[in-house]
Amino acid sequence: MADAQAPIADGAVRLRPATNAHLSFVLATETDARRAGFIGGWTETEHRTALDDDDVAHCIIETEGDGETIGYLILRGLRDTNGSIELKRLALAAHARDRGYGRRVLALVLRYAFDQLSAHRLWLDVLAHNTRARHLYTSSGFVEEGVLRECFRTESAPGGYASLVVMSILEPEYRAAVREPAAGQTKR
């Protein structure tokens, strides 16, 4: 989504750059997901700053058919010289959860990171108690790298602190999972 590229789509969902006009939806979706104990959150100022940062892809998630806005995501490190991009946040509106959109969106993110941005590594951290998200990431090829113990303050965890699990997928792992050659290689 960097440099106002065309939306990325798969026939069911599409990602396109978010604008200031989307911030009320983003903040409401984020607040709901944060209350449910799924994610952390940012202030409106932090989101506005990210919208103007060329190292960040702040995207709206829409359905392809009717263009309904169903979520948002944030990628950071688009210009990282090490090719390590962070999936900072992926949040779906409550009405869009449990409908398979998360898996489809994650597949688009992987394709965008590795095919368009030429990333070497895509990484994220996920709240340890968010087992559904961890399962989605693991089943999509992400590997758990470690745990940041009780590093995240939240009301949704006993004692007020939650642990984060760091996960990543490398470009060769992505290629093997989708059985595609890396850039410059031929398929066998």
CATH number for the domain that contains residue 128: 3.40.630.30
End-to-end distance of the chain based on CA atoms, in angstroms?
31
> Would you say residue 188 lies in a domain?
no
**Torsions phi, psi of 90, nearest 5?**
-135, 115
> Would you say residue 36 lies in a domain?
yes
Looking at the chain, the number of H-run helices and the number of E-run strands are: 5, 8
pTM (2 d.p.): 0.88
* Tally of domains in the chain: 1
Segment 33-52 mean pLDDT: 89
Angle at 152 between CA 112 and CA 74, to 5 degrees: 20
- What domain range includes position 173? 2-178
What is the spatial distance between Cα 61 and Cα 92, in angstroms, rounded to a whole number?
Answer: 8
Q: Which pLDDT belongs to residue 181?
A: 52
- Give the tens place of pLDDT for each residue, 11-21: 899 999 999 99
- Give the tens place of pLDDT for each residue, 82-125: 999 999 999 999 889 989 999 999 999 999 999 999 999 999 99
> Would you say residue 183 lies in a domain?
no
Q: Which pLDDT belongs to residue 33?
A: 86
> Would you say residue 99 lies in a domain?
yes
What is the spatial distance between Cα 33 and Cα 168, in angstroms, rounded to a whole number?
Answer: 22
> Would you say residue 187 lies in a domain?
no
Q: Is residue 80 packed enough to be buried (19+ CB in 10 Å), middle (13-18) or exposed (0-12)?
A: middle
